[in-house]
Structure 1
Amino acid sequence: MTPDLECVDLVKRFGETTAVDTVSFSVPPGSFFSILGPSGCGKTTIMRMIAGFLNPSSGDIRIKGGSVLDTPPNKRPVNMVFQHLALFPMMSIADNIGYGLRRRGMAKAEIARKVDEALERIGLPGIGGRKVDELSGGQKQRVAIARCMVLEPDVLLLDEPLGALDLKLREHMKVELKALQAAFDTTFVYITHDQSEALVMSDQIAVMNAGRFEQVGTGQDLYYRPETPFVAGFIGEANRWKGRIERIEGDAVQLRTDTGLAMRATGAGLSEGSAAEIFVRPEAIRLAGSAEALSGFDNSLEGTVTSILFNGAASRVLVQDGVGETLEVTLPQSGEFASLKRGDTVHVGWGAGQATCFGAA
């Protein structure tokens, strides 16, 4: 199957600075693909090259199998939703949605039909006569997408479109965007620095750092099977310890942390005596009242509760061990530790299979 979008060895330099460094990826038809990374990593530069606003220094961009490097932005089969939406406040909703169709010279009756159809698909029928400032933030978001989708692009580019919304509306729009993508059955390419947006909506996520893709995969792949220390630290929360590898037995390694603790984990491509780093998710750590209760775990520590952070269905418990290291444990609100308080002595444990070890730079 020919991808809707394919970038091949894409490079973009600004003088001596390489903003995008040999990036390749493909996006299957009808999928939701996100590029996730911190500010300044190069994700917006990739999107601007796909849209045609920037020319790559080298590499190729293909849509439906054909290169678009020589195609100007207004002729490319893509459209773009910006963070600030760029709706025209002096126009009605119908005129906003039909703007691109009028520019193409489409007949008025056909424009009206397509606009009405788009309003139905975004769940806002009958509001074509209203003005932009009469809409809520979420409604404006849907109108901005409808304005793009009536042009029937092969690929819709979304440049952090939820960034200007308040937290509650942003949470709601994550679900809305995924539903809209499925309703229009169009390929979405979404850039964001917010991991929760990418994890909720995406079929595939590319984690980007310093101009390169660190890993491309599903949200589950990135969360449970990170391939680099950056991905392990950037996706979700993680406890981490640095140290040196003492022993290797197949995929199992034993690391001695810089503070003297012995820990077992899984890792590949490591060597004895080398510097390494271990990552453990807070929800993978078991809390117990005694060391005996954790006898079946590869790793266990005794510590003191220093803080309990309420977070709805679960709390985050911060535990300081005997050498001054603090780790985070996810704790459900109900159960034997519901009355846990600051200063309590607890025992924590986790298996080697729940700890991932990478070589340290």
Structure 2
Amino acid sequence: MPFFTLRGPELSVSHPDLVCSDLTKDFDAFRAVDRVSFEVPQGSFFSILGPSGCGKTTLLRMIAGFQSPTSGDLRIKGKSMIGVPPNKRPVSMVFQHLALFPTMNIGDNVGFGLRQRGVAKSEINRRVEQVLERVGLPGVSQRRIDQISGGQKQRVAIARCMVLEPDVLLLDEPLGALDLKLREHMKVELKVLQAAFNTTFVYITHDQSEALVMSDNIAVMNNGKFEQIGSPHDVYHAPETAFVAGFVGDANKIKAKVSAVNGTFLTLISDGGSEMKIEAPANTLRIGDRAQVFLRPEAIELCTTQDGVNVSQAEVTSVLFNGANSSITVKDDSGDLLKIALPQTGSFANLRIGDSVLTRWLPQQARCYRAEET
């Protein structure tokens, strides 16, 4: 199994906070997590991104100690956590529904874990006020939970964890219950809080936008395994598998067959009959292979001349206004449909259904995989 080392901006990899080695979890005959190995440097924001049922929650629960691995090892600060109960691990966890106590005020919620540990009352009060100030909620310890907003409740939940000074903070889709506008705001706020505390965050989500915005590194998980791990830029722009290309970001998916190979350039014929040229790693596909091509909507441009490769005559079939951009769909002469992200400014800003256009994209902007990977 490959052993992944995460490298985010200015992150040291010499002293990882979390190391998982061949971590596996079986439920009878079903393997939920399949020999996952990775390490996370101290102070980084690491997201596990994947669809429902891919194993990400099971992996997080093993890190927290709520489930025991079938095999493999899990170390925090160099110490194996196998057999260590949840309350003895240097981790805290923020749940999707926050699990705040409605009958307690904010200060008592934040200080709950310290009271369980037998910390003196004066020390609890000092640390509670200190951590509330760090999350931007000074002077609110006596307020009730029902007197604060959804975003403030998120910060209280984080404060309750951070007052325990964990080495690793685990977050189980904590933004899932928020409305869209608040969720967008909290993406930025969570990243700011993580940087302020300089604590390692391990965040699971099925929402690609959350992972792309907040993470230093992302692991894309599917069927119990990591398909790819890397920076948000690499995962989005250089997906290593067809699953990653289709799951992270929007993409046009075109079924095709390889008709010619010239070094690292492939010529393919789509099922609709249009020809396309793609730059791909050498020796990945051969003539006659079935392929799946992924092309981002923003990689396609509209042009006024036939110059260059991958230029097609097309007809606009739909126009959807989307604020700063429009999402248009075009059908080329062979019947292939392409979605294009179009700015609201420029000579093509006022397109209508039925308009004739020329589309163009560069060979290096598409990704190509064997069809059996999809």
**1:86 is matched with which residue?**
99
Structure 2 residue 347 is the aligned partner of structure 1 residue 332: no
C-alpha RMSD of matched pairs (Å):
0.9
C-alpha separation in 2, matches of 1:248 and 1:121: 58
Shift of 1:357: 1.0
Tell me which residue corresponds to 1:105: 118
**Aligned partners of 2:261, 2:102: CA distance in 1, in Å?**
64
Please name the residue that 1:62 is paired with: 75
> Are 1:245 and 1:274, in contact at CA under 8 Å, matched by a contact in 2?
yes
The match for 1:205 is: 218
Q: Is the 8 A contact 2:285 2:370 kept in 1?
A: yes
Distance in 2 separating the partners of 1:173 and 1:182: 14
Partners of 2:95 and 2:173 within 8 A in 1: yes
Task: Give, in angstroms, the shift of residue 56 of structure 1.
Answer: 0.7
Amino acid in the other structure paired with 2:57:
T
2:301 to 286, 290, 294: 286
* Contact 1:8-1:61 at 8 Å conserved across structures: yes
Partner of 2:329: 318
Unaligned runs of 5+ in 2: 1-13
Distance in 2 (CA, whole Å) between partners of 1:110 and 1:310 is 55
Indicate conservation of the 8 Å contact 2:218/2:231, yes or no.
yes
Deviations 1:106-161 (A, max 9, x none): 11111111001011100010100001111100000000000000000000000000
Using the alignment, how far apart are the partners of 1:259 and 1:317 within structure 2? 20
Paired residue for 1:11? Answer: 24
Matches within 5 A, 1:180-219: 180-219=193-232
8 Å CA contact 1:94–1:128 kept in 2: the answer is: yes
State the TM-score, normalizing by the size of structure 1.
Answer: 0.97
Partner of 2:89: 76
Larger displacement relative to structure 2 (251-260 or 77-86): 251-260
Aligned letter for 1:62?
R
Q: Assess if the C-alpha contact under 8 Å between 1:285 and 1:329 holds in 2.
A: yes
SS at match of 1:4: strand
Structure 1 ranges of 4+ moved more than 2 A: none
TM-score, normalised on structure 2? 0.94
Whichever residue aligns with residue 323 of structure 2, its letter is G
Superposed CA deviations along residues 48-93 of structure 1, whole A, max 9, x for unmatched, are 0000111111111010111100211110001100000000000010
Among residues 307, 313, 326, which one is paired with 1:295 in the alignment?
Answer: 307
Cα distance in 1, alignment partners of residues 370 and 101 from structure 2: 52
**2:240 matches 1:250:** no
State the secondary structure of the residue aligned to 2:53.
coil
Please say if 1:341 is aligned against 2:352.
yes
1:272 and 1:154 map into 2 onto residues whose CA distance is 52
Task: Provide the C-alpha distance between the structure 2 equivalents of 1:294 and 1:161, rounded to a whole number of angstroms.
Answer: 49
Contact 2:280-2:364 at 8 Å conserved across structures: no
Deviation at 1:323, TM superposition (A): 2.5
- TM-superposed deviation, 1:294: 4.0
Q: C-alpha separation between the residues in 1 aligned to 2:42 and 2:337? A: 45
**Number of residue pairs aligned between Structure 1 and Structure 2:** 357
Gaps spanning 5+ residues in structure 1: where?
Answer: none
